[in-house]
Structure 1
Amino acid sequence: MLRRQLGRKLEALRKAAGLTMEQAAEQLDRARATLYRIENGAENVRFRAADVKEMLSLYDAGDEDSELVLAMAAATRENKNWWHDYIGSGLPRWFQLYIGLEAAASNIRKYQPELVPGLLQTRAYAEQVFQMPGGSIDAKDRDEQQRAIQLRVERQGLLTRFAAPELSVIMNEAVLRRPVGNASIMVEQLRQILKAMKLPNVTVRVLEFSAGLHAGAMTGAFSIMNFPLDGAGKEVEPPVTYLEAATGAIYLDKPHEISAYNSIWADMTDRALNEAQSRSLIQQIAEEYTHA
């Protein structure tokens, strides 16, 4: 997965530089077949730092892209799940990879115990979230906050684009009842969720308090992403489970890891309200905020 993501990133940088594969191969003094294997993340390719830096220089890559690509290349050489804490300035590099995966996914499943998922947040709700300390964006840096909020809003276009992914969300009842900001912010936010639920590719279900102990209680928030099938009926990428913390994230793609999170998701699915019941509860809580 990581090799293919890295290959696609290098391909995008090459194309942004206005170079064909033949032109880039000639200037890098490599065979076209070699560059093809690099951009396809072939298993036998070693992403040596010197080679990657040469490509980044040819493609005139910016500092942020270079930092991300070099970190990914280093991780392929370590041959392990990679843990990103390359915060630097602006948005963290590990989250940039997530955005790429999210955009490529055909199916996204999200569990949220505390907050409305970013793909469903209103701007006002997101502003409240990014004012809190302990996240990857400095709560005192107003410019960075606004960049992050704008990115969150723009990401939501994913749900209405051509060939949009299927989004399935399970959220705890606490997400709906815990005020974020004032009552008007919550009313707007809950109505935004109801609006999103009208999309044919979006499903939102609620885990009531009365559901009791469930498998998600042991995990915290996570996302499971599945990817489109190729002409042979195989996924272009293996499924990925994404877990995020305050200063980094982990990407799980081993079969036993995906199986474990699929089992957790199945347990919560069995316990959650169905769509109609969830919609009714969200409407009820929105009314409660309206009269608060």
Structure 2
Amino acid sequence: MSQAVTGSTMLRRQLGRKLESLRKAAGLTMEKAAEELDRARATLYRIESGAENVRFRAADVKEMLKLYGASEEDTELVLAMASATRENKNWWHDYIGSGLPRWFQLYIGLEAAASSIRQYQAELVPGLLQTRAYAEQLFRMPGGAIEAGDREGQERAIQLRVERQALLTRFSAPQLSVIINEAVLRRPVGGATIMTEQLHQILKAAELPNVTVQVLAFSSGLHAGAMAGAFSILEFPRDSSGKEVEPPVTYLEAATGAIYLDKPHETDAYNTIWTDIASRALSESKSKSLIQHVAEEYSRA
């Protein structure tokens, strides 16, 4: 997959397609719309293509929405998307050059554009659910993406991890489905106090309507995830007809790089693995009970 496919790129494509569908619903050809908007046809084409050199100014977008007779709901959605392309475009770029690996930059962009994220973690709490204290312990470990002596780089990486979590409560937040191995709960990272806080953070996140957390208990026995290791499956918004616009991406991370898989047979393989893991995991309510139980054990330690 090309590194050029970022969250901003996908958002622009989605916004362009939405404006195109509204224009067509209004019965306007591109030529007629361009004439009414006093724009060149080529300009309108770039807008509907989501070209990188187009700035979706609020006044311009409102003019188009008015011409197309967009509903109040569509107007709210399109203006929010247009605002996101201007204000939140590649917000993580502030962290580039301070230890953030280039292979991870692509993941952040995909994560920001996803409508659905499914993650299996065998060893660690997923980044979107980590507390700052937990993340600090991870970035101090040798062999990570940030060099051990790069304190500034570590701090910026920790801050990035914390800021990424706003994804879960933003406008049009993705659906996050997490399955964690029981070992994630049982293995102390940084001591009992940090783990108590971390497990409470997971429980708090699980209360969000777009977040589900399940635990793969030790009693589940052998499962497909034991062979696959940790992975994330990201899916993206579909167009108005329900057609897949961007293919799903499976993300696999290692200490020195990452693999992005988007071929149909690769997606099918990891969907099969996910289905097996999900069928063996505890229900959401039983998972919450186990997480709460382990948190109480840490609080008494």
TM-score range (shorter-chain normalised) is 0.7 to 0.9
Aligned pairs (5 A) from 1:1-292 = 2=2, 5=5, 39=51, 90-292=99-301
Q: Could you tell me how far apart the structure 2 residues matched to 1:168 and 1:104 are?
A: 16
- Residue type of the alignment partner of 2:122: P
Q: Could you tell me how far apart the structure 1 residues matched to 2:285 and 2:235 are?
A: 25
Identical-pair percentage: 71
Give CA deviations for 1:100-137 in whole Å, capped at 9, x if unaligned. Answer: 00000000000000000000000000000000011111
CA gap of 1:260–1:11, structure 2 versus 1, over 3 A, is closer
- Residue type of the alignment partner of 2:297: E
Report the CA distance between 1:37 and its aligned residue: 7.0
User: Which contiguous aligned blocks of 4+ residues in structure 1 show a shift greater than 2 angstroms?
Assistant: 1-4, 6-12, 31-40
Q: What residue ranges of structure 1 are gaps of 5+ in the alignment?
A: 13-30, 41-63, 69-87
Q: Could you tell me how far apart the structure 2 residues matched to 1:175 and 1:148 are?
A: 21
3-state SS in 2 of match to 1:140: coil
Q: Is the 8 A contact 1:104 1:227 kept in 2?
A: yes
Normalised by the length of structure 2, the TM-score is 0.71
Q: Could you tell me how far apart the structure 2 residues matched to 1:255 and 1:238 are?
A: 8
Q: Is the 8 A contact 2:119 2:233 kept in 1?
A: yes
Q: Is the 8 A contact 1:4 1:39 kept in 2?
A: no
- Residue type of the alignment partner of 1:2: S
Count of equivalent residues:
230
Report the CA distance between 1:191 and its aligned residue: 0.2
Report the CA distance between 1:199 and its aligned residue: 0.3
Report the CA distance between 1:235 and its aligned residue: 2.5
- Residue type of the alignment partner of 1:129: L
Report the CA distance between 1:162 and its aligned residue: 1.1
Q: Is the 8 A contact 1:8 1:39 kept in 2?
A: no
Q: Could you tell me how far apart the structure 1 residues matched to 2:228 and 2:138 are?
A: 21
Partner of 1:44: none
Q: Is the 8 A contact 2:9 2:50 kept in 1?
A: no
Q: Is the 8 A contact 2:238 2:245 kept in 1?
A: yes
Q: What residue ranges of structure 2 are gaps of 5+ in the alignment?
A: 13-41, 53-91
Report the CA distance between 1:34 and its aligned residue: 8.7
Q: Is the 8 A contact 1:228 1:236 kept in 2?
A: yes
Normalised by the length of structure 1, the TM-score is 0.73
Report the CA distance between 1:231 and its aligned residue: 2.1
Report the CA distance between 1:5 and its aligned residue: 1.1
RMSD: 2.6
Q: Is the 8 A contact 1:183 1:289 kept in 2?
A: yes
**Higher mean C-alpha displacement, 2-11 vs 180-189:** 2-11
- Residue type of the alignment partner of 1:100: G
Q: Is the 8 A contact 2:119 2:231 kept in 1?
A: yes
Give CA deviations for 1:185-240 in whole Å, capped at 9, x if unaligned. Answer: 00000000000010000000001111010000011110000000112322231000
Q: Is the 8 A contact 1:125 1:189 kept in 2?
A: yes
